């Protein structure tokens, strides 16, 4: 009995991860296909990578998307940290329930609804106060900040919930005012959570098609919008090349993060052993 | 159970007639919702005292301490520190520092930075900070650990960093929540004395929370015993031990034999209590103020009872029984004796002689007796 | 200071600088703002709450009110293509014209009903298959050794960091008539005609299950990992076989994880637009696609808004339920 169970688990994992990774691998393999038909193998070639880097439309859209993603992530981290702090540390305040609903609802709200409603808001605002004039980078960034801050809020809130609040009390007890406590104690301690929140907000923004399509204006096509208009017409080998590059970048990032984390873990364990060894 | 070495009869500001208390807690109540965590507590604590708050888990010790530090506002009542009403004063403006049960060392700062933190908040000049931090770290014997991070320290070292961090600001009042709770027994005993020495050396007033009665006995000038949010008795360690004012205190501090009975004679100089559990009556050589016929308890400490094979001369203050259990504890032995009434009594006897062949053993019939000054009469 | 006429210029200069610094110190902008804010009763605490609160109020709540408003207004060919809801009549009287036409239109036209029901069906079936694949995976990861667990978990999250659009796109290459699967099956000789998979509901199911699988696995994992394994040992000790122990102990205890994961898949799947557009056929009816078409192709904003409101009404129960679970999971946040 005890031997059959691991076999079951192993096959589940093999099957599951195959399901998750075969499509991604197939993208990469076919990106080196000479044939324009993508899935009919006609020999090895790196031609499509060359084509990709000549495609000004894709490059421009990629640059725009990266810019929006970076600004969005920064704004979302600021807003999400404030909201997470209020929800995790301020106890019961008036409007707490509303704030907490408003920060979790965007997590599951269908994108078409968010996109449509934000567009209608921007149109109405332009009519009434004249800002934002037209739609473009600003409106996309605002829209992305609104729904990515929800993710940051959840991350910050749960990080703060596991953080020992006596650290903050100790700082206050030693004479630091609340604002100082936040910047000197809370912020450095939750910094890793903020970093992962930033990365998450960055990725989601970089990935978003639907909301951006609603609130974008002429001339502000983001990378997903350009990709979508291309793949709607069928497979296209330079998109495979683009996908491979993105996977490669993510993989490099993950490997680096993994190495850093395991190194940190090792030093931490060595330090602990050292402390125990000389325990007096 | 030795009573505190500190209560030598010289430092007793609470007895001085005109003495101003340093901390005055005035009918303070704290409610969490409907739950009374602290219930109508009044206390006076004097300068340079080492005052212990002692009580079982959940009785409100931490809550009381947190109100002194300013993390909780009392629901009712007032707290004065050095004559100043503390209502509405935030923790960072109180002349008080706290040592946390979890130590709460900042994980991203070195030992030095941790200790210097409070001084930076007070805008102390840099050179002075350096000097005071070094001094303080030397005092707690952590001189060479200044550049370490908290996770590179052992439990005892962390405890001393936390202490140094709180003391370096030279507070007039230090609050310590179970300061030794996370240390093992040996380190604890060692650290208790260091703590007392440091306190005397610096002349700081300490309020220490603990649920370890031995710790409270060794450390404190006075103890406040808490139960279910109320202070039930305040006194020096020996007062609390020798003259508990209630059944709860008598049973909470050390171990005790409780003999339930009825007052049959109540004179100013003595009382006599009829206890069905014992062979005779309990005779106490001091008066109590309970109406005759009232149900009371005669509390007798195990070490104040003498075991003998021969019947004692006096008919009072004695009982007969059979030894059921003996626990050898090195310096003394504890005997569990089943009295003829069926009640179990606990007796400790010093092991004065190393080879005592005629030592009382299991299943032996014995007599218990005690001096008329030993019992304390308490009510429920 | 003025009396010291004999002092050298340099000293006077430095006193002047010091004076300016001292003045600046007292009236530095941040101090000034701080004092001003305090005077108005605005503390740091209020600011921390107010900034995200107002942001979300303006960019999350108000938009819904506008959608609601436009759903009740009439279409017109202009920019923006809807009539104002509130007319100013005379000085003060406000004439509110509610136009239920858009909603009646939704009720009358079979298309919308079908689209709603089909979306619920597709989302439901996909959620079920997500659970069917995700539960064993989450279980296997949660029971792996602690060293491997983090790597496996990382591998579940990893696809999430690569573009969603491109992952859906990958399935076009796999499912189409001369795609990976058909090529392989033709090559082995199992079939001699390609199976039509792309542009079917099957392709939509595959796409949704594939894209949302991590959202199912993660909450399930964190639930299963927390579970006390001695409970299972106790059950086996009391005579339960492993299967029965699983059914009686593990499954009921993991119910919160199952519900959270299912909500995280089901709710967004109902409104999914990209997957049915890229993988489904032109006649595949999903409400997200319908909304998109009304908005972008037919430029009928009021009807698109009415569709959005109707969709929201369909989803309000699961969303509110999800929030309850979420609030409980993050500990409610009330500490003091
Ligand atoms: N923030 C709070 N909200 C609600 N109840 C609380 C809160 N803090 C404490 N309590 C309750 O008040 C009571 C007293 O708590 P307190 O922490 O003061 O106990 P304690 O005497 O320090 O116990 P221990 O020895 O276990 O530390 C407990 O029953 C606790 O549950
Ligand atoms: Mg406590």
Res. C71: pLDDT tops 60: yes
The predicted pLDDT at position C332 comes to 41
Q: Measure B32 CA to nearest chain A CA, in Å.
A: 13
In which band, very low, low, confident or very high, does the pLDDT at B2 lie, cut at 50, 70 and 90? very low
Res. A109: pLDDT tops 70: yes
Structural domain contains residue A247: no
Res. C258: pLDDT tops 80: yes
- Whether B56 is in the pocket of ligand 1, judged by its Cβ within 6 Å, is no
Q: Judge contact between A228 and C165, C-beta under 8 A.
A: yes
Closest CA to B284 of B254, B303, B264, B307: B264
Q: Which two structure tokens, joined as six digits, stand for A223?
A: 């990378």
Q: Is the peptide bond before C80 cis (omega within 30 degrees of 0)?
A: yes
In which band, very low, low, confident or very high, does the pLDDT at C168 lie, cut at 50, 70 and 90? very high
Which of B41, B52, B55, B59 is the best mutation target for the ligand 1 pocket, counting ligand atoms within 8 Å of the beta carbon and taking the most?
B59
Structural domain contains residue A259: no
Contact A275 B153 (CB under 8 A): yes
Structural domain contains residue A96: yes
What is the rounded distance in angstroms from the CA atom of residue B112 to the CA atom of residue B137? 8
Which residues, in sequence order, are CB contacts of B291 under 8 Å at separation 6+? B263, B266
Query: How many Cβ atoms sit within 10 Å of the Cβ of residue B279?
Result: 18
Q: How far is CA C154 from CA A22, B111, C147, C220, in A?
A: 17, 35, 12, 15
Q: What is the mean pLDDT of chain B?
A: 88
Residues, CB within 5 angstroms of ligand 2 (ion) = B 62
Structurally, how many domains does chain A consist of? 1
Q: Judge contact between B121 and B95, C-beta under 8 A.
A: no
Q: Does A104 touch chain C (CB under 8 A)?
A: yes
The predicted pLDDT at position C37 comes to 64
The predicted pLDDT at position C333 comes to 36
CB pairs under 8 A between A and B: 78
Contact A172 B90 (CB under 8 A): yes
Closest CA to B362 of B330, B329, B338: B338
- Whether C335 is in the pocket of ligand 1, judged by its Cβ within 6 Å, is no
The predicted pLDDT at position A88 comes to 92
Res. C290: pLDDT tops 80: yes
For ligand 2, the distance from its centroid to the CA atom of residue B209, given in whole angstroms, is 8
Question: Measured in whole angstroms, how far is the alpha carbon of residue A169 from the centre of its chain?
Answer: 32
Q: Does A265 touch chain B (CB under 8 A)?
A: no
| Contacts A176 to B, Cβ<8 Å | 92, 117, 121
pTM of the model: 0.82
For ligand 1, the distance from its centroid to the CA atom of residue A166, given in whole angstroms, is 15
**Beta bridge mates, B336:** B325, B346
Query: How many Cβ atoms sit within 10 Å of the Cβ of residue C147?
Result: 7
- Whether B211 is in the pocket of ligand 1, judged by its Cβ within 6 Å, is yes
What is the rounded distance in angstroms from the CA atom of residue B332 to the CA atom of residue B352? 8
Contact B104 A280 (CB under 8 A): no
A189, A271, A274: residue with CB nearest B108 = A189
The predicted pLDDT at position C5 comes to 41
Helix or strand run (H / E) with residue C106? helix C101-108
Torsion of Cα atoms, B333 then B338 then B339 then B341, to 10° = 160
Contact A39 C271 (CB under 8 A): no
Q: Which two structure tokens, joined as six digits, stand for A166?
A: 């006596």
Give the CATH number, domain containing residue A181: 1.10.3720.10
In which band, very low, low, confident or very high, does the pLDDT at C91 lie, cut at 50, 70 and 90? very low
Phi then psi for residue C306, to 5 deg, are -60, -40
Identify which has the larger pLDDT, C40 or B161.
B161
C48, C156, C311: residue with CB nearest A110 = C311
What average pLDDT does range C267-273 have in this prediction?
90
Q: How many residues are there in chain C?
A: 336
**Beta bridge mates, B349:** B333
Domain that holds residue A141: 55-234
| Contacts C159 to A, Cβ<8 Å | 20-21, 24
Structural domain contains residue A15: no
Which residues, in sequence order, are CB contacts of C68 under 8 Å at separation 6+? C305, C309
Domain B255-378 has CATH 2.40.50.140: yes
Domain boundaries defined on chain B? 13-95+171-247, 255-378
For B60-103, what is each residue's pLDDT tens digit?
999 999 999 999 999 999 999 999 999 989 999 998 999 998 89
A259-273, B5-19, B161-175, C6-20: the lowest-pLDDT one: C6-20
Res. C197: pLDDT tops 80: yes
C70, C270, C335: residue with CB nearest A165 = C335
Q: What is the mean pLDDT of chain A?
A: 88
The predicted pLDDT at position C161 comes to 83
Q: Which two structure tokens, joined as six digits, stand for C213?
A: 């699988």
Res. A254: pLDDT tops 50: yes
The percent of residues in chain A predicted with pLDDT above 90, rounded, is 46
Structural domain contains residue A3: no
What average pLDDT does range B180-200 have in this prediction?
84
CATH topology of domain C110-336: MetI-like fold (1.10.3720)
For ligand 2, the distance from its centroid to the CA atom of residue B218, given in whole angstroms, is 20
What is the rounded distance in angstroms from the CA atom of residue A161 to the CA atom of residue A158? 5
Q: Judge contact between B164 and B115, C-beta under 8 A.
A: yes
Structural domain contains residue A138: yes
Which residues, in sequence order, are CB contacts of A78 under 8 Å at separation 6+? none
C44, C63, C310: best to mutate for the A interface, most A CBs within 10 A: C63
Which numeric CATH code is attached to B13-95+171-247?
A: 3.40.50.300
Q: Which two structure tokens, joined as six digits, stand for B7?
A: 């209560």
Which of B58, B67, B181 is the best mutation target for the ligand 1 pocket, counting ligand atoms within 8 Å of the beta carbon and taking the most?
B58
For ligand 1, the distance from its centroid to the CA atom of residue B61, given in whole angstroms, is 8
Q: Which two structure tokens, joined as six digits, stand for C152?
A: 């496996």
The predicted pLDDT at position C88 comes to 44
The predicted pLDDT at position C14 comes to 64
* DSSP designation for A33: B
Res. A16: pLDDT tops 70: yes
B104, B117, B166: residue with CB nearest A166 = B104
For B265-297, what is each residue's pLDDT tens digit?
877 778 888 888 887 788 888 776 666 777 888
What average pLDDT does range C50-75 have in this prediction?
87
The predicted pLDDT at position B289 comes to 64
Contact C163 A227 (CB under 8 A): yes
What is the rounded distance in angstroms from the CA atom of residue B370 to the CA atom of residue B257? 12
Q: How far is CA C331 from CA A91, A154, A158, A160, in A?
A: 12, 11, 8, 10
Q: Measure A184 CA to nearest chain B CA, in Å.
A: 10
Which of B32, B68, B71, B229 is the best mutation target for the ligand 1 pocket, counting ligand atoms within 8 Å of the beta carbon and taking the most?
B32
In which band, very low, low, confident or very high, does the pLDDT at B3 lie, cut at 50, 70 and 90? very low
Nearest chain B residue to A189 by CA distance is: B108
What is the rounded distance in angstroms from the CA atom of residue B1 to the CA atom of residue B210? 17
The predicted pLDDT at position B350 comes to 87
In which band, very low, low, confident or very high, does the pLDDT at C227 lie, cut at 50, 70 and 90? confident
Nearest chain A residue to C294 by CA distance is: A116
Res. B337: pLDDT tops 70: yes
Contact B121 A175 (CB under 8 A): yes
Res. C120: pLDDT tops 80: yes
- Whether B37 is in the pocket of ligand 1, judged by its Cβ within 6 Å, is yes
The predicted pLDDT at position B183 comes to 79
Res. C101: pLDDT tops 80: no
For ligand 2, the distance from its centroid to the CA atom of residue B177, given in whole angstroms, is 7
What average pLDDT does range B183-208 have in this prediction?
87
Q: Which two structure tokens, joined as six digits, stand for A109?
A: 């709200």
For A146-160, what is each residue's pLDDT tens digit?
989 999 999 999 899
| Contacts C59 to A, Cβ<8 Å | 118, 121, 142-143, 145-146
Ligand closest to the CA atom of residue B61: 1
Q: Does A165 touch chain B (CB under 8 A)?
A: no
Please report, for chain C, how many H helices and E strands are present, in that order: 17, 2
Structural domain contains residue A115: yes
Phi then psi for residue A44, to 5 deg, are -80, 140
Q: How many residues are there in chain A?
A: 280
Selected residues 29-68 of chain A with any CB under 8 Å from a CB in chain C? 30, 37-40
């Amino acid at each position: 009995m005890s031997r059959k169970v691991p076999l079951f688990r192993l096959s589940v994992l093999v099957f599951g991860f195959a399901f998750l990774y075969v499509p991604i691998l197939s993208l990469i393999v076919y990106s080196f296909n000479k044939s324009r038909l993508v899935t009919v193998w006609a020999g090895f070639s790196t031609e499509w990578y060359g084509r990709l880097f000549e495609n000004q439309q894709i490059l421009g859209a990629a640059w725009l998307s990266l810019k929006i993603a970076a600004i969005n992530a920064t704004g979302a981290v600021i807003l999400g940290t404030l909201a997470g702090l209020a929800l995790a540390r301020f106890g019961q305040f008036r409007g707490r329930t509303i704030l907490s609903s408003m920060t979790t609802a965007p997590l599951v709200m269908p994108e078409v609804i968010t996109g449509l409603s934000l567009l209608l808001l921007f149109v109405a605002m332009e009519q009434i106060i004249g800002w934002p004039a037209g739609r473009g980078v600003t409106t996309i960034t605002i829209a992305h900040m609104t729904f990515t801050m929800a993710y940051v809020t959840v991350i910050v809130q749960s990080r703060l919930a596991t953080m020992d609040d006596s650290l903050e009390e100790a700082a206050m007890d030693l004479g630091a005012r609340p604002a100082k406590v936040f910047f000197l104690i809370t912020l450095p301690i939750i910094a890793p959570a903020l970093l992962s929140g930033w990365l998450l907000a960055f990725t989601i923004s970089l990935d978003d098609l639907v909301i951006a399509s609603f609130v974008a204006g002429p001339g502000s096509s983001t990378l997903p919008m350009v990709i979508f208009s291309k793949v709607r017409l069928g497979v296209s080998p330079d998109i495979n090349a683009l996908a491979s590059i993105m996977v490669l970048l993510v993989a490099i990032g993950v490997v680096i993060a993994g190495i850093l984390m395991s190194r940190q873990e090792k030093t931490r364990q060595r330090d602990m052993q050292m402390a125990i060894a000389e325990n007096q | 159970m030795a009573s505190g070495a500190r209560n030598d009869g010289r430092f007793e500001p609470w007895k001085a007639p005109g003495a101003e208390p340093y901390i005055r807690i005035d009918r303070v109540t704290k409610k969490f919702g409907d739950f009374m965590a602290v219930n109508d507590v009044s206390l006076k604590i004097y300068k340079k005292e080492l005052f212990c708050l002692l009580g079982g888990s959940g009785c409100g010790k931490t809550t009381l301490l947190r109100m002194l530090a300013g993390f909780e506002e009392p629901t009712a009542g007032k707290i004065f520190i050095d004559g100043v009403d503390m209502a509405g004063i935030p923790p960072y403006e109180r002349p008080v520092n706290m040592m946390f049960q979890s130590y709460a060392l900042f994980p991203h700062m070195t030992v030095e930075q941790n200790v210097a933190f409070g001084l930076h908040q007070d805008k102390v000049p840099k050179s002075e900070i350096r000097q005071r931090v070094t001094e303080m770290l030397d005092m707690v014997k952590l001189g060479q650990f200044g550049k370490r991070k908290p996770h590179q320290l052992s439990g005892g070292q962390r405890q001393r960093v936390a202490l140094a961090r709180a003391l370096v600001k030279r507070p007039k009042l230090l609050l310590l929540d179970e300061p030794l709770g996370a240390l093992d027994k040996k380190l604890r005993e060692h650290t208790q004395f260091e703590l007392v020495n440091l306190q005397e050396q610096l002349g700081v007033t300490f309020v220490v929370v603990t649920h370890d009665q031995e710790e409270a006995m060794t450390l404190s000038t006075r103890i406040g015993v808490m139960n279910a949010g109320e202070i039930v008795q305040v006194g020096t360690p020996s007062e609390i031990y020798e003259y508990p004012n209630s059944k709860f205190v008598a049973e909470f501090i050390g171990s005790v034999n409780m003999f339930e009975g009825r007052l049959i004679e109540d004179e100013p100089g003595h009382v006599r209590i009829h206890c069905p559990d014992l062979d005779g009556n309990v005779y106490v050589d001091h008066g109590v103020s309970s109406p005759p016929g009232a149900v009371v308890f005669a509390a007798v400490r195990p070490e104040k009872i003498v075991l003998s094979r021969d019947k004692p001369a006096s008919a009072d203050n004695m009982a007969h029984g059979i030894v059921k259990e003996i626990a050898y504890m090195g310096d003394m032995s504890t005997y569990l004796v089943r009295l003829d009434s069926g009640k179990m009594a606990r007796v400790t006897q010093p092991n004065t002689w190393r080879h005592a062949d005629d030592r009382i053993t299991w299943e032996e019939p014995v007599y218990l007796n005690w001096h008329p000054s030993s019992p304390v009469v308490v009510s429920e | 200071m003025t009396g010291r006429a004999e002092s050298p210029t340099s000293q006077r200069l430095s006193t002047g600088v010091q004076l300016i610094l001292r003045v600046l110190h007292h009236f530095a902008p941040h101090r000034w703002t701080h004092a001003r804010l305090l005077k108005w009763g605005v503390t740091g605490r209020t600011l921390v709450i107010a900034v995200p609160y107002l942001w979300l109020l303006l960019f999350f709540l108000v938009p819904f009110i506008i959608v609601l408003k436009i759903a009740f207004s009439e279409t017109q060919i202009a920019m923006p293509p809807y009539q104002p809801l509130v007319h100013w009549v005379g000085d003060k009287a406000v004439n509110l014209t509610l136009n239920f036409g858009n909603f009646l239109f939704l009720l009358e036209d079979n298309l919308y009903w079908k689209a709603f029901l089909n979306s619920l069906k597709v989302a439901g079936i996909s959620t079920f298959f997500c659970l069917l694949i995700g539960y064993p995976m989450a279980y296997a990861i949660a029971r792996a050794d602690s060293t491997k667990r983090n790597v496996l978990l990382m591998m579940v999250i990893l696809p999430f960091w690569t573009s969603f659009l491109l992952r859906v796109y990958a399935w076009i290459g796999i499912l189409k008539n001369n795609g990976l699967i058909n090529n392989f099956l033709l090559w082995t000789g199992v079939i001699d005609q390609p199976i039509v998979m792309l542009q079917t509901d099957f392709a939509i199911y595959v796409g949704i299950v594939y894209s949302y699988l991590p959202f199912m696995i993660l909450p399930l994992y964190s639930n299963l990992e927390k579970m006390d394994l001695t409970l299972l040992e106790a059950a086996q000790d009391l005579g339960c076989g492993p299967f029965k122990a699983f059914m009686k102990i593990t499954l009921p205890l993991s119910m919160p994880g199952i519900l959270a994961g299912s909500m995280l898949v089901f709710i967004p799947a109902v409104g999914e637009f990209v997957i049915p557009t890229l993988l489904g056929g032109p006649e595949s009816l999903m409400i997200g696609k319908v909304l998109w078409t009304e908005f972008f192709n037919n430029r009928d904003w009021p009807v698109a808004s009415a569709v959005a409101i109707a969709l929201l009404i369909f989803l309000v129960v699961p969303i509110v339920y999800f929030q309850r679970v979420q609030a409980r999971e993050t500990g409610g946040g009330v500490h003091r």
